[in-house]
Amino acid sequence: MADTASGDLRLVRLTKTYGDAAAVDDLSLTIPQGSFFALLGPSGCGKTTTLRMVAGLEQPTQGAIHLGETDISGTKPYKRPVNTVFQSYALFPHLDIFENVAFGLRRRGIKDVGAQVADMLELVELTGFEKRKPNQLSGGQQQRVAVARALINHPSLLLLDEPLGALDLKLRRQMQLELTRIQTEVGITFVHVTHDQEEAMTMADTVAVMNEGRIEQLGSPIELYENPMTTFVANFLGKSNMVDGTVTDRAGDHAVVEVGQQRMAVPTGRLHASGPMVHVGVRPEKVSLLLAQDAEQQPPGHNSMRGVVVDASFMGVSTEYTVALPQGHEFSVFSHNMHRDARLVPSAEVVAHWAPDHTFALDAAEPVDAGQDVT
């Protein structure tokens, strides 16, 4: 039966169209049972539409949704073992916290709810708040009530639709830790939809980056950040330096790429282009700076580019340098301030260098600025 289904969540060629526009376009995805999974992407990418189809609030135009061995594509929302926590919390203002949490049990005709409500309030660390009304709680506390109410029926799947969007920064970070703890304790599958990169990277075991109704890349937060496969992912998940280059040799563990007059090594597992023309990329915090006169101190085998510092912004923990390169590009470099070199000032001639294993190369046919300035 659909209401007792459990197992991996599988989306099979899922499509949702509105007129001629595809909000979700032929999406296939498996979310392992018991995982904390994030659908991450900018507004309008299709992530919330995907979540609503899993919840049964939208019907797919094509494709299927399986929970374990059960196809739940046509199952009514209230018959799915799925609950949703919304950004607005959707608490009942006229009910106290006890009755808000107990609502799902009472709706099923269960009369003795005290022990289960107590367990849920203990889980979300709100014991003692039973008689308060929602308007007497902070935003973070209301969010925890919404989670407790969603979990009390022991769903196979909990969907979280931008659940922290209404909280201030401090509360949001606190709730990231709280939701991670709760998911670990209850062990059910959490699917979290967000446009906030830090939120997804902090909380999820696996992240799917969505763009224009499709998945750009799927993997662990570390995999996505360290080894992006598209320019959209490279730019959407933090900052990336990219310059144009030509692959001249793919033999062995490292490909050789010519960038201007420089030769660079790129691990073949981080080369994501079939043709010769590529964007060569590296994250700003992976790059180190030396004054040009100290270039011989560069570690052997490092990739490097010469340039001139045009800006140095002190940011407390680190300094962000902007380096103008001869090719007309600019490099950003984040340098920890523990051993800050006071000589690295605007107009200083420098060598930017980094280990080849931090380098990636992407198809030059993709826009180099894809994923920038999107929310």
pLDDT tens, residue by residue, 261-298: 889 999 999 999 999 999 999 999 999 999 999 999 99
- Whether residue 372 lies inside any domain: the answer is no
**Degrees, nearest 5: CA angle 312-318-322:** 30
* Residue 222 shares a structural domain with residue 243: no
- 206-263 per-position pLDDT tens digit: 999 999 999 999 999 999 999 999 999 999 999 999 999 999 999 889 999 999 888 9
* Residue 124 shares a structural domain with residue 206: yes
- Whether residue 353 lies inside any domain: the answer is yes
- Whether residue 371 lies inside any domain: the answer is no
Confidence band (pLDDT; 50, 70, 90) for 4?
A: low
* Residue 171 shares a structural domain with residue 292: no
Contacts of 36 (CB under 8 A, 6+ apart): 180, 183, 190, 192, 203, 204, 205, 206
Residue at a domain's end among 226, 254, 286: 226
* Residue 284 shares a structural domain with residue 202: no
Task: Tell me the percentage of the chain whose pLDDT exceeds 90.
Answer: 75
| Mean pLDDT, the chain, whole residue set | 92
- Residue 18's pLDDT is 93
Is 120 within 8 Å of 101 (Cβ atoms)?
yes
* Residue 102 shares a structural domain with residue 156: yes
The residues pairing with 254 across neighbouring beta strands, listed in sequence order, are 267
- Whether residue 66 lies inside any domain: the answer is yes
* Residue 184 shares a structural domain with residue 133: yes
* Residue 113 shares a structural domain with residue 211: yes
- Whether residue 90 lies inside any domain: the answer is yes
What CATH number should be reported for the domain holding residue 46?
Answer: 3.40.50.300
- Residue 38's pLDDT is 97
- Whether residue 37 lies inside any domain: the answer is yes
What CATH number should be reported for the domain holding residue 334?
Answer: 2.40.50.100
- 91-109 per-position pLDDT tens digit: 899 999 999 999 988 888 8
Is 1 a residue whose pLDDT tops 70? no
Is 6 a residue whose pLDDT tops 80? no
Is 343 a residue whose pLDDT tops 80? yes
- 139-167 per-position pLDDT tens digit: 888 888 988 999 998 899 999 998 887 77
Reference 48, options 126, 165, 138; nearest CA is: 165
Is 340 a residue whose pLDDT tops 90? no
Nearest-10 crossing angle of helices 114-123, 139-151: 130
Distance CA 79, CA 50 (A): 18
Domain span including residue 258: 239-363
- 164-178 per-position pLDDT tens digit: 877 778 888 888 888
* Residue 42 shares a structural domain with residue 92: yes
User: Cα 313 vs. chain centroid, distance in angstroms?
Assistant: 27
Q: Is the dihedral of CA 287, 292, 297, 298 positive or negative?
A: positive
Mean pLDDT, rounded, for 113-131: 91
Name the domain count of the chain. Answer: 2
- Residue 320's pLDDT is 95
Check residues 172 and 134 and name the one with the higher pLDDT: 134
- Residue 34's pLDDT is 95
* Residue 174 shares a structural domain with residue 259: no
Residue at a domain's end among 168, 195, 226: 226
Residue at a domain's end among 226, 248, 274: 226
* Residue 188 shares a structural domain with residue 75: yes
- Whether residue 368 lies inside any domain: the answer is no
- Whether residue 274 lies inside any domain: the answer is yes
* Residue 214 shares a structural domain with residue 253: no
- Residue 294's pLDDT is 93
Distance CA 266, CA 356 (A): 6
* Residue 90 shares a structural domain with residue 138: yes
